[in-house]
Amino acid sequence: MTAKSFEGVFTALVTPFSDAGFDEAAFARLVERQIAGGVHGLVPVGTTGETSTLTHVEHKRVISLCVEVTKGRVPVIAGAGSNSTAEAVELVRHAEEAGADAVLVVTPYYNRPSQEGLFRHYEALARATALPVFVYNVPSRTSIDISNATLARLAKIPNIVGIKDATGDLSRPSVQRLECGEGWIMLSGDDNSALGYVAHGGHGCISVTSNIAPAACAQLITASLKGDFVEARRLQDRLIRLHKALFVDASPSPTKFVLARMGLCREDTRLPIAPCDPSHHAEILAAVELAGACP
């Protein structure tokens, strides 16, 4: 796939559960709805997919089923991170065997490695696969921030192709474009600021909100990439309260609450994530209505 294949909105899919565990039928429905809504790609088993509470068997099955249902219609960027390099290598290799188009690898959490440790971690993963590798930088969750200087080193490795940037720092795409080169693919990991991120040179967004409003999110980023910021701002005004409402409780519980109201999956989350607190329901549903995505 070319760099162009990784532009636009990529939905960070929820993982629906049933009494038996992973709800495959509901997941297939969600994938089909996303593709019909016009998203540009899918990201199974990322943070929104509750990957930290899935077994390895479940993790691998979610990726395999996503690839099976998608049938090549849009790219699949499979979550494949761990705070153990050996475990991440196993997950990356499975993603390749399952037919994913790329992998998304979070910076190792809890360990708090040095910048050299981060470089060696990603270098080892790149050697373990022929797939394009995206670095996932989310210091608010991992307690480690990969520097632009380290990213510049990683960008020299041919199959490390870009980043999911969830720092919220809109200066980063400008600096990375200078340090990592024009071919470096930059995807925002923050729906709230994705419009600004694209305006600064980003190529799209890995989105939570598109679980609920795939068409509007796809249209927003498409308009931004075309430089039509009048239309992009109009869509952002529709979506901004939803962007925020989906994080009024621990994610993805608000998203699953809305999807359950839509009849698309159960509200079930896995501990330590609890179901969305009822005190937030009215605020979330008001934001859904404003976005034009009423259940």
Burial class (CB in 10 A: 0-12, 13-18, 19+), 83: middle
φ, ψ dihedrals at 136, nearest 5°: -115, 110
Distance CA 48, CA 77 (A): 14
Is residue 164 part of the annotated active site? The answer reads: yes
In this structure, how many other beta carbons lie within 10 angstroms of the beta carbon of residue 68?
A: 13
In order of 54, 232, 239, 241, the CA distances from 193 in angstroms are 29, 12, 11, 12
Q: Strands across the sheet with 8-12, in order?
A: 41-43, 8-12, 204-207, 185-188, 160-165, 133-137, 102-106, 77-79
Q: Which of 164, 226, 244, 256 is catalytic?
A: 164
Distance CA 100, CA 78 (A): 6
In this structure, how many other beta carbons lie within 10 angstroms of the beta carbon of residue 72?
A: 9
Is residue 226 part of the annotated active site? The answer reads: no
* Ordered alpha helix ranges (H), the chain: 24-37, 56-70, 85-98, 115-128, 139-142, 148-154, 172-180, 194-199, 214-225, 229-245, 253-261, 281-290
Q: Which of 60, 136, 197, 256 is catalytic?
A: 136
Catalytic residue list? 136, 164
